[in-house]
Amino acid sequence: ICRFLDITNEALQISINFWIKNGIFQKKGGKLSFALQNQNKISCDMPVYSGETIALRAENDDALKFLLNEAQKLLSKILSPADISLLFGLYDWVGLPTDVILMLIEYCVSSGNSGMRYIEKCALSWSEQGINTCEKAEERIRQLQLSSSVEGKIAKLMGIQNQARTTKQKAYIEKWAFEFNFSLDMITAAYEAMVDRIGKISFDYMDKILCSWHEKGYKTVEDTLNDESPKKKKTSGKASFSVDDFFKPAWEIVEK
């Protein structure tokens, strides 16, 4: 860059620091990349790279070559030019490490979402959340798997397991289970209170009940019996449990 612009190394560093300070560049792990301002803007502005550009880069970049080869195996298909451009963009433009991209692809495929647009959306979200190491990626995947299990159990409770959940409904479920740390018994009690009071399923109404209980510091179904609101029922079963009970290893289920 210095030779091309005919400037000194010091001038280049001053310029880079200026753009980092103003949010155009970001530096992670010693690697300089464009900063992500907002997810929608990035998705629209993702560069489209020519095959020659990527091929030339791959000749001298073993990590990129490995990414493209492994991604093709995980996706079980021959990558199209658009697929290769998108993966290169996630690697070079967004700045996600090869291992993290491959972990994301593997998770998406295992969950039945192998479309490249979906992978791109998840990758941009991970980047904005600072998920840029294998350790952080493993933790996020664990959370996603647990969230999916929790969502399925609550959907079954509400009799909507065969219906697609909206983004808003999924956000409610994640808040109840992970932000409020409510057990399934507590969520069941809120469901029954909702049905008793309004006679229909309403995520908004159920959320108001659970938010009220959270604000009052209720932790168990017994705590809710002190609530002044009418028509509460006590659910059967144990009052509380670890959220890990939502997600059991397959071998434990088989043994039982």
pTM over 0.75, yes/no: no
CA distance 138 to 41: 27
* Mean pLDDT, residues 48-68 taken together: 91
pLDDT given for residue 239 in this prediction: 39
The pLDDT tens digits for 200-248 are 889 999 999 999 999 999 989 988 887 654 444 444 444 344 444 444 4
Listed range (30-44, 100-114, 174-188, 237-251) with the worst mean pLDDT: 237-251
Q: State the CB neighbour count (10 A cutoff) for residue 81.
A: 12
pLDDT given for residue 181 in this prediction: 86
pLDDT given for residue 91 in this prediction: 93
CA distance 119 to 43: 11
Distances (CA, A) of 105 to 24, 140, 197, 205: 27, 13, 44, 37
Q: Rounded to the nearest 10 degrees, what angle do helices 81-88 and 116-128 cross at?
A: 0
* Mean pLDDT, residues 99-105 taken together: 96
Backbone angles phi, psi at 231, to 5 degrees: 60, 55
Reported confidence tier of residue 154, pLDDT bands at 50, 70, 90:
confident
Reported confidence tier of residue 152, pLDDT bands at 50, 70, 90:
confident
Reported confidence tier of residue 13, pLDDT bands at 50, 70, 90:
confident
**Whether the predicted pLDDT of 109 surpasses 90:** yes
pLDDT given for residue 46 in this prediction: 76
**Whether the predicted pLDDT of 169 surpasses 70:** yes
**What's the DSSP call for residue 28?**
E
Query: Percent of the chain scored above 90 by pLDDT?
Result: 35
pLDDT given for residue 36 in this prediction: 55
* Mean pLDDT, residues 75-83 taken together: 94
- Select the highest-mean-pLDDT range: 24-28, 40-44, 194-198, 224-228: 194-198
Contact 130, 36 (CB under 8 A): no
